């Protein structure tokens, strides 16, 4: 029976597509579209999608050879599963008319992509359908980020159940609360330009919960030998490239704000990469390709919530400080029994939190009039609101993920057997190998 259920779900999707063909034009008056904005958002959407294969290489190169394919597929499969969820009801629950006190959108608003023709998003210059596809790519990469924490020991079928629950119960409420005009955090004044709270903090805390719940691998190598550091470098390059769509695309227009976000993204990542290397040298370690790549990604993570609210000079501080803090947390984690395989929490979780706090410090209305001035400019309100939101999001994502892991485990065991783990997940889960 269990083997039939996944395919039956696809049959239901086909039936829904026949019942709701999505050909009707929305009743709202169309806004004049801007060709340049549409072109930029089409490019940005494609750039953000490229980040998920980039993440697959980034993570895949870090694990042991017998788990490379499994680890990469865990990222890649999100492009399939999450897309279906998003099109059917996910986008509508995240960005539909508010019905849940600032945490949930109406599933009927854009169900099966209804009401997405002939109308611009929030009366702006791009079609609703383009905004929906842009936001889809954020939803795709978020659960993929978690996979590095439980790499080398999770059953693939159980993983699919977990990320489905994660998207619906954790990601979608956070996206609605943070980015929808009627969202709880949005109305509270929380600034998250491109997903530091929604994407990286949620994934980071879920990663920590996963590492704690699944416990240590049965065979933890004393010195973890990455399968392909060249994969890690390639993955970092693809992530950095795609991140321009992630951050600069979040301006939703091809104007000065997009250019500023692109600049801050570049600078923070570069500063963080060098910060990681120089901090390693300070600790007596040799500069490494792995360290440079991890540092660059931490910088990208940290600048994400701030990209369209801070100056380029402030982005240098964001990159340098966040890389040092994440590096210290990696060192701390290595001395504990927490088996976060690829240090997702220290890099994405801590990086996201640092970005959120530093946005509260360095945000400037001079960069973005729709934002607010931070602590550095003499205002304390934004920083305090970000502190409150940080605590709330952290608790929600961590304890919510623990609950979902338990529910998933009851439906389908999460851990592979010790024998399967020793043999490697590539063969035991997929009958494939490098």
For the segment 373-377, the average pLDDT, to the nearest whole number, is 97
* The residue to which tokens 């999505």 are assigned: 22
pLDDT score of 28 more than 60: no
Residues with Cβ < 8 Å from 377, sequence gap 6 or more? 363, 364
Tens of pLDDT, residue by residue over 55-97, are 999 999 999 999 999 999 999 999 999 999 999 999 999 999 9
Residues with Cβ < 8 Å from 159, sequence gap 6 or more? 74, 147, 414
Q: How confident is the model at residue 223 (pLDDT cuts 50, 70, 90)?
A: low
Q: How many other β-carbons are positioned within 10 Å of the β-carbon of residue 104? A: 18
For the segment 247-263, the average pLDDT, to the nearest whole number, is 98
Residues with Cβ < 8 Å from 271, sequence gap 6 or more? 299, 315, 316, 318, 319, 320, 323
Predicted confidence at residue 221, as pLDDT, reads 63
pLDDT score of 202 more than 80: yes
Average pLDDT, the chain: 95
Predicted confidence at residue 10, as pLDDT, reads 93
pLDDT score of 365 more than 80: yes
Give the residues across from 25 on adjacent strands: 117
DSSP 75-122: HHTHHHHHHHHIIIIIHHHHHSSB-STTS-B-TTTTGGGTT-BS-BGG
For the segment 15-22, the average pLDDT, to the nearest whole number, is 92
**Lowest mean pLDDT: which of 1-5, 55-59, 259-263, 282-286?**
1-5
DSSP state of 70: H
Against a cut of 0.85, is the pTM above it? Answer: yes
Write the CA distances from 290 to 61, 124, 227, 310, integer angstroms. Answer: 10, 42, 12, 28
Predicted confidence at residue 29, as pLDDT, reads 56
Q: How confident is the model at residue 100 (pLDDT cuts 50, 70, 90)?
A: confident
**Tokens found for residue 151:** 């790499």
pLDDT score of 342 more than 60: yes
Burial of 101 per CB tally in 10 Å (0-12, 13-18, 19+): exposed
For the segment 108-131, the average pLDDT, to the nearest whole number, is 92
pLDDT score of 193 more than 90: yes
* The residue to which tokens 């290489």 are assigned: 57
Predicted confidence at residue 118, as pLDDT, reads 83
Tens of pLDDT, residue by residue over 31-41, are 689 999 999 99
**Tokens found for residue 242:** 């795609």
| Percent with pLDDT over 70 in the chain | 97
Predicted confidence at residue 232, as pLDDT, reads 98
Predicted confidence at residue 30, as pLDDT, reads 54
Tens of pLDDT, residue by residue over 139-187, are 999 999 999 999 999 999 999 999 999 999 999 999 999 999 999 999 9
Go through the domains of the chain in sequence order and give each one's CATH number.
34-411 (1.10.3430.10)
Phi-psi sector, 115: left (phi>0), alpha (psi -120 to 50), beta: left
Backbone dihedral angles phi then psi of residue 105, each to the nearest 5 degrees: -95, 165
| Percent with pLDDT over 90 in the chain | 92
Residues with Cβ < 8 Å from 88, sequence gap 6 or more? 13, 16, 111, 112
């Amino acid at each position: 029976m269990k083997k039939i259920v996944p395919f039956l779900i696809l049959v239901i999707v086909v039936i829904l597509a026949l019942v709701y063909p999505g050909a009707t034009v929305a009743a709202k008056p169309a806004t004049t579209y801007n060709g340049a904005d549409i072109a930029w958002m089409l490019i940005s959407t494609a750039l953000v999608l490229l980040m998920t294969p980039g993440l697959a290489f980034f993570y895949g190169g870090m694990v042991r050879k017998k788990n490379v394919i499994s680890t990469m597929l865990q990222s890649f499969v999100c492009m399939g599963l999450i897309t279906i969820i998003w099109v059917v009801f996910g986008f509508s629950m995240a960005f539909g008319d508010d019905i849940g006190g600032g945490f949930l959108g109406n599933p009927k608003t854009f169900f099966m992509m209804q009401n997405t023709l002939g109308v611009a998003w929030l009366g702006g210059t791009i079609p609703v359908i383009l905004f929906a596809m842009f936001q889809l790519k954020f939803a795709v990469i978020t659960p993929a980020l978690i996979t590095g924490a439980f790499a080398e020991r999770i059953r693939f079928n159980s993983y699919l159940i977990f990320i489905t629950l994660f998207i619906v119960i954790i990601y979608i409420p956070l996206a609605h609360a943070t980015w929808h005009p009627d969202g709880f955090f949005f109305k509270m004044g929380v600034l998250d330009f491109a997903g530091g709270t929604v994407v990286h903090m949620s994934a980071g805390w879920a990663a920590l919960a996963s590492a704690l719940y699944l416990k240590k691998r049965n065979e933890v190598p004393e010195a973890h030998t990455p399968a392909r550091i060249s994969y890690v470098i390639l993955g970092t390059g693809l992530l950095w490239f795609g991140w321009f769509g992630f951050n600069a695309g979040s301006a939703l227009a091809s104007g000065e704000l997009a250019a500023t976000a692109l600049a801050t993204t570049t600078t923070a990542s570069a500063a963080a990469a060098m910060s990681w290397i120089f901090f390693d040298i300070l600790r007596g370690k040799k500069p490494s390709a792995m360290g440079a790549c991890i540092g660059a990604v931490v910088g990208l993570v940290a600048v994400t919530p701030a990209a369209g609210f801070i100056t380029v000079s402030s982005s240098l501080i964001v990159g340098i400080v966040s890389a040092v803090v994440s590096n210290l947390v990696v060192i701390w984690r290595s001395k504990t029994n927490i088996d976060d395989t690829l240090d997702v929490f220290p890099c994405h979780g801590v990086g996201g939190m640092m970005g959120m706090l530093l946005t509260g410090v360095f945000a400037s209305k001079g960069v973005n009039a729709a934002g607010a001035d931070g602590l550095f400019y003499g205002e304390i309100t934004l920083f305090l609101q970000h502190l409150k939101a940080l605590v709330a999001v952290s608790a929600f994502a961590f304890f919510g993920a623990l609950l979902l892991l338990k529910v998933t485990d009851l439906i389908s065991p999460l851990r592979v057997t010790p024998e399967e783990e020793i043999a490697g997940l590539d063969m035991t889960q997929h009958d494939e190998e490098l």
